[in-house]
Amino acid sequence: MKRSIASVCLSGDLRQKIEAVAEAGYDGIEIFENDFMLFGETPAAVRRMVEDAGVEIVAFQPFRDFECMPKAKMQKNFDRAERKFDLMQELGTTAMLICSNVSPQCIDDTDRAVEEFYELAERAKKRDITLGYEALAWGRNVSLYEQAWDVVKRVDHKNLGIILDSFHMYARDADLSTVAEIPGNRIVLVQVADAPRLKMDVLQWSRHFRCFPGQGDFPMQDFMSAIIKTGYNGYFSHEIFNDEFRSSPCRATAIDGMRSLLWLQEQVVMDEPDLMLDRKNSSFYQPPKADMQNFEFVEFAADDQMRDDLLGMLHKLGFHRTHKHRSKEVSLYRQGDVSLVINEESDSFAQHYSLVHGTSVCAIAYGTDDAEGMAERADYYGYHPFESDVESGELDIPAIKSITGELVYFVQKNTDGTRFYDVDFVADDQSEALVTPDDSLNFDHVSSGVAETEFLSVSLFYRSLLDLDVAQPQDLIDPYGIVVSRAATNQDKRIRLPFNMSRSWGASTERFREVHRGSGVQHIAMSCDDIRAFVRRVDPSIILPIPGNYYDDLEARYELDDDLLADLRQFNMLYDQNETGHFIHFYTRSINGLFFEVLQRHRYGNYGEANSQVRLAAQAQVRRSGQP
């Protein structure tokens, strides 16, 4: 599978884009006309840059508004094409993308289009240039790929083929069955772009919201499988118009784009296993399959200033120290099957993390049946390993750095039932819980607050590396703006990872990022079997106070038992229900922007989204009042 990216996807000048493309490992680059026009070097110099970088110019694009213009303008169009052919030969590329005409002057006459494309193909033949015709989703008369293919098929010239672009096809709800009618050798180039499902003007949708495969909602695997079945063996190239990409460092964007193509390739191999003929020697090599089973532990970096606040919160929630590390200043606090590691080791990643972020989550560990395979998978996707200091006889747990900076550990699940703390820790029998622990407690979900520029990268991280499903974005109403939220989950929902971003500086996510001094884990939720019994054991001073008006509204909306409603009101708990079940939960106050949630699910699979604005408003009220 040959991989390319269009220069329009990246920020910077053309030299910076070429360097980023080469560093990310692409085979080719599409040169966007404006990127060349605004660059200060000659075509020959650009050609040398590309050759020195070890990539090839896959295509020059776009050639606009060619076919079916008034007769008086057609000669100018042919002259313009000849000038572009001159430029392409200097650049050293042999393919040109022609997009369907969007001019109001374009005449709806397929016979004329066929004649004009035949003449242009004859001119291209003399230069050994191949033309690719692409249907723009907002094209004046040709907006469907079937229409573009009809023109190409009728022209019947070896120097004219079709370009298939996933965005333009899905934006028009394309039926992919016609793709099977297109011979692979008549496809000049395949462009891949994902996007969120939005109801808006298609041109604005295209210009601002395209994203890499794995970051949006299109069924990209179906598109790729349809293309592969044609016998096409050319380039798969990104063509992404996205405001965030244009404002982000070009190298990071290029690397994300490469990860998305690797992920897309993996999906094709899963759908079409016959393509994977010889694993590592095949261009369709598939990395080890992710099998993320559960949250194994969450690790905190604890600095002197807020360490006691965190430990006080944990004690009041029913946690107590059960183990100490054999060789490090690291303690383990447990309740039920929730393991929280407090790392106070000097000159460690945790200490350096706390110097920047304060007391906060510095690592999340996931249980898996193949930790080394996950490390190999991470390397395949370009997420580099983190090496930690390990004493003789201790577990060497594979780790990488996440998009938001904390570590991700892959912990091997042992068949004999032993856990990580059975090897690296010793039991600490001197510590007792302040309140009776709840043996039913489990991790439910771990939420992060991320920057707008990281939102798509985090989506791809969860999809590609951890093989999680990522839900469509939804808006949460904050008193000071909108928070956009997505959630990544594994199949059995034992791993749930919501992540949130906001464009408003005053909204909760950005307030957290200000306090935390960057992105990171903002919220840890734990489930139990009987939350009404659990909350009675909790010190009420740590629970987030909820406005009384909420309970009046709750009483009006639902037919709740009087005793339940009284408990909800007394203990500041929230309630939601849907067609399958109900959900009860409460939140703690924040420490350095981080807060906990305890919940009980009864045949309910959501997150209490209806209560999110209540929680956001309550947190804002606490912040305004200056309370801890």
pLDDT tens profile 133-152: 999 999 999 999 999 999 99
- Could you identify the residue written with the tokens 């089973």? 293
394 annotated as belonging to a binding site for a ligand: no
| Residue 280 binned pLDDT confidence (cut-offs 50, 70, 90) | very low
Residue 384 has pLDDT above 90, yes or no: no
List Cβ neighbours of 384 (8 Å cut-off, separation of 6 or more). Answer: 378, 400, 401
55, with CB counted inside 10 A (0-12, 13-18, 19+), is buried
Whether residue 408 has pLDDT greater than 80: yes
- Please name which of 72, 53, 66, 51 lies closest in space to residue 98, comparing C-alpha atoms: 66
Higher-confidence residue of 246 and 161: namely 161
> What gap in Å lies between CA 383 and CA 405, rounded to an integer?
12
Q: How far apart are CA 469 and CA 199, in angstroms?
A: 23
For residue 277, give both structure tokens.
């003929």
pLDDT of residue 350: 94
Question: What's the pLDDT score for residue 388?
Answer: 76
- Residues of each domain in the chain carrying CATH 3.10.180.10: 292-427, 442-625
CATH for 2-281, options being 2.30.30.100, 2.60.40.10, 3.40.50.970, 3.20.20.150 = 3.20.20.150
The predicted structure's pLDDT at residue 8: 95
* Residue in the structure block whose two tokens are 């098929």: 153
Distance CA 89, CA 176 (A): 35
Round to whole Å and give the CA distance between 394 and 426: 12
Q: In this model, does residue 430 exceed pLDDT 60?
A: yes
Please indicate if the annotation marks 239 as binding a ligand. yes
Taking only the tens place, the pLDDT of each residue in 590-600 is 999 999 999 99
Spatial separation of the C-alpha atoms in residues 607 and 595, rounded to whole Å: 15
Contacts of 426 (CB under 8 A, 6+ apart): 323, 324, 326
Q: How far apart are CA 488 and CA 492, in angstroms?
A: 12
- Please list the residues that pair with 2 across neighbouring strands: 235
Mean pLDDT of 486-494: 95
Its CATH class, for the domain covering 442-625, is: alpha beta
Asked whether residue 272 carries a pLDDT value surpassing 80, the answer given is: no
Task: Quote the pLDDT of residue 291.
Answer: 87
pTM of structure: 0.90
pLDDT at 365: 97
What is the band of 521 on the pLDDT scale with cuts at 50, 70, 90? very high
Average pLDDT over residues 273-280: 48
> For residue 345, what pLDDT is reported?
92
Mean of pLDDT values over 469-493: 92
- Cα-only R_g, the chain: 28
Residue identified by tokens 């120097």 is 159
**310 in helix, strand or coil?**
helix
Q: What is the pLDDT of residue 281?
A: 39
Q: What is the pLDDT of residue 538?
A: 95
Mean pLDDT of 243-259: 92
Tell me whether residue 384 is annotated as binding. Answer: no
Confidence at residue 431, expressed as pLDDT on a 0 to 100 scale: 64
Burial class (CB in 10 A: 0-12, 13-18, 19+), 200: exposed
pLDDT in tens, 184-231: 999 999 999 999 989 899 999 999 999 999 999 999 999 999 999 999
134 is in an annotated binding site: yes
Question: pLDDT-derived band of residue 498, with 50, 70 and 90 as boundaries?
Answer: very high
**Distance between CA atoms of residues 29 and 58, nearest Å:** 6
E-state strands within 390-466? 399-401, 407-412, 425-427, 442-449
pLDDT mean over 281-292: 73
The pLDDT of residue 279 is 38
pLDDT at 27 exceeding the cut of 70 = yes
| pLDDT of 278 | 36
Judge whether 235 and 248 are in contact, CB under 8 Å.
Answer: no
Angle at 172 between CA 169 and CA 174, to 5 degrees: 55
Return the beta strands (E) in 202-319 as ranges.
235-238, 292-301
Q: Which two tokens stand for residue 43?
A: 């075509």
- 393 has pLDDT over 70: no
Domain 292-427 adopts which CATH fold?
2,3-Dihydroxybiphenyl 1,2-Dioxygenase; domain 1 (3.10.180)
pLDDT at 391 over 90: no
pLDDT band at 523 (very low <50, low <70, confident <90, very high): very high
- Known binder of ligand: residue 146? no
What's the whole-number mean pLDDT along residues 561-582? 96
pLDDT confidence of residue 433: 66
Q: What is the pLDDT of residue 95?
A: 97
Mean pLDDT of 442-469: 95
Instruction: Give the mean pLDDT of the chain.
Output: 93
Report the distance separating Cα 28 and Cα 31, nearest Å. Answer: 10
Q: 267 pLDDT exceeds 90?
A: no
Q: Which of 129-133, 142-146, 244-248, 438-442 has the lowest mean pLDDT?
A: 244-248
Would the pLDDT of 603 be above 70?
yes
Residue 239 has pLDDT above 50, yes or no: yes
Burial 60-80 (b: 16+ CB within 10 A, else e): bbbbbbbbbbeeeebeebeee
